[in-house]
Chains A and B, each alone.
Chain A
Amino acid sequence: MRSRLAILLLTLALTMAVRADDDDDPPTVEAQVDGLLFFATNDTVPTATEGAKEAEKSVPAATMASLRTRLAKAFPQKNYQLLGLHTQNLLKDYESWVVPSKELCLKIDSRGAAANGGINLHLQLWQEKKVLVKSDTILKPGQPIFIGGPDWRKGRLIFVVMLK
C-alpha cells in the first residue's frame, strides 16, 4: 500500500515538474509586424508631431515611399502623413496589441503559418471601447493590410499592418 502511494506521489510530482517547465518556456515569436497610423487627406498635411517624426525615422525611406504610393492606389486621397508606428512581436498563443495611438489600436491573434506563405491572423480594430471591424485574413510578406477607418478633419485615418 505504501509503495503504491509513493509511486502515485512520485508520478504527480514529475507531472507537475514537466508542467512547470512548460510554463517557463518563453513564448514563441511567430512574426514581427509594423502597425502604422496614417492621416490621409487631399488637403495640405499638418505639421508632423514629434512622435510622427520619430516614427518616420524608424521606417526606411524607400519603404515609406512605396507605402504611400500603394495607399494612393487603394484610397482616393493624395497625401498620407504618418502619425504613429508600433513594431510588435506576434507571440504564439498570445494576443498582441498594436497601439501607435490611443485613438485606434489593433488586436491581433496569430493563428499560425498560412499554407501558401504568410501568417493567419484574426484582427480586431478598436476605437476606444468600440470594435470597428473584425477580420480573419492572411498577412503575407510584401503585402500589407490597409484598414480605412473613420474620417477626421478633412481626411481619414488609415491603419496599416505589415510584416517586418
Chain B
Amino acid sequence: MKTNPESENLDPKDVELMRFMDGLDPHDHPEWLEEKAAAQQLGQLLRSHLPSHAEPPSAEFFTSQIMAQIAPTGPARAGVSARSGFMDIFRRWCAPLATAAAVLVVGGMVMKRQSPGGGREAFAYTPIANVKATLDFNKDAGATVINLTGLTAIPDAREIKAFNVASTGAVAPGATQRFYAANDPDILLFVLHATDDGGPQIREVH
C-alpha cells in the first residue's frame, strides 16, 4: 500500500489493517479474515459485472438510476459519521467500491434492456422529483403506455385551447417554426422557438 498524507495521520492499527487487506502484511490476523473475505467478494462482484465496452442508452437516465440506487444509503452513512476507529476506516475504504458496485448493478440493468439484435428496448425517464414514469406495453390496448404519476394538476380554471394543426417543414436549428391550421393554411396558430435547453417557447397566435 502506498503511503499518502491521509494515512500518515491514521492510527497505526488502522494502517496495519489496510496493509493486511492489501496482502502486504506478512502477519496472520484471524480476527480480520472475515472483513478480508468480504472485500474480496466485493472485488469479484465488480469484475464479474463489468461490461466495460457497452454504452448506456441515455446518459441522463443512467445517472438518474445510479442516484436512485445510491440515495437510500445516504442518511445511514450520515448517521454513523461520528464513529471512529476501524469501522470508520473500513467504511471509507469500502465507500468507493460500494458506489462502483451500485454503478455496475445499474449498468447491468440498463444493458439488459438491450435486445439480442442490438436494438434498444424502450424506457421512460422523468427528471422531475416525486414524479414517477413507467413504460409498459399494454397487450389489451395494443399500445405502449407511458404513465406519469405525481404530476402537478393543471388548475381547473385554465382553459386548454387545442387545434387541428398541419404538418410543418424542416427548419434550421434555432429557427422559429410556424404552425398553421390543417383546414386553412392561412391561419397561423402557433409560433415555436426552441430555447437553449431544448425546450419550446410557444406563442399562441390564433
Query: Interface size bucket, B side?
Result: 35 or more
CB A121 to nearest CB in B, in angstroms, measures 9
A40 at the interface (CB under 8 A from B): no
B147 at the interface (CB under 8 A from A): yes
Contacting pair B164 A136 (CB below 8 A) = no
B126 at the interface (CB under 8 A from A): yes
Q: Render A22-55 as a binary contact track against B, CB cut-off 8 A, 1 for contact.
A: 0000110000100001010000000001011011
Q: Render B115-152 as a binary contact track against A, CB cut-off 8 A, 1 for contact.
A: 10111101111111001010101101111111111011
A9 at the interface (CB under 8 A from B): no
B82 at the interface (CB under 8 A from A): no
Q: Render A126-147 as a binary contact track against B, CB cut-off 8 A, 1 for contact.
A: 1001111111111100111111
A89 at the interface (CB under 8 A from B): yes
Binds A, one of B9-17, B42-50, B55-63, B99-107: B55-63
CB B193 to nearest CB in A, in angstroms, measures 11
Collect the chain A residues with CB atoms within 8 Å of residue B89's CB: none
Contacting pair A55 B144 (CB below 8 A) = no
| A55–B194 alpha-carbon span in the complex (Å) | 25
Query: Interface size bucket, A side?
Result: 35 or more
CB A105 to nearest CB in B, in angstroms, measures 6
Collect the chain A residues with CB atoms within 8 Å of residue B57's CB: 136
| A71–B142 alpha-carbon span in the complex (Å) | 10
Give the B-binding residues of A (Cβ under 8 A). 26-27, 32, 37, 39, 49, 51-52, 54-55, 57-58, 70-71, 73-74, 83-89, 91, 94-95, 97, 99-103, 105, 107, 114-116, 120, 124, 126, 129-139, 142-153, 157
B200 at the interface (CB under 8 A from A): yes
Q: From A151, which residue of chain B is reached at the shortest CB distance? A: B153
Contacting pair B143 A89 (CB below 8 A) = no
| A95–B170 alpha-carbon span in the complex (Å) | 9
CB B142 to nearest CB in A, in angstroms, measures 6
Contacting pair A152 B153 (CB below 8 A) = yes
B156 at the interface (CB under 8 A from A): yes
| A145–B153 alpha-carbon span in the complex (Å) | 22
Q: Can you sample 7 A-B contacts with CB below 8 Å?
A: A49-B161, A54-B181, A89-B168, A99-B202, A115-B115, A142-B142, A150-B153
Q: Which 6 A-B pairs have the closest CB atoms?
A: A84-B162, A101-B162, A86-B165, A137-B122, A83-B162, A151-B153
Q: From B168, which residue of chain A is reached at the shortest CB distance? A: A88
Contacting pair A151 B154 (CB below 8 A) = yes
Contacting pair B145 A148 (CB below 8 A) = yes
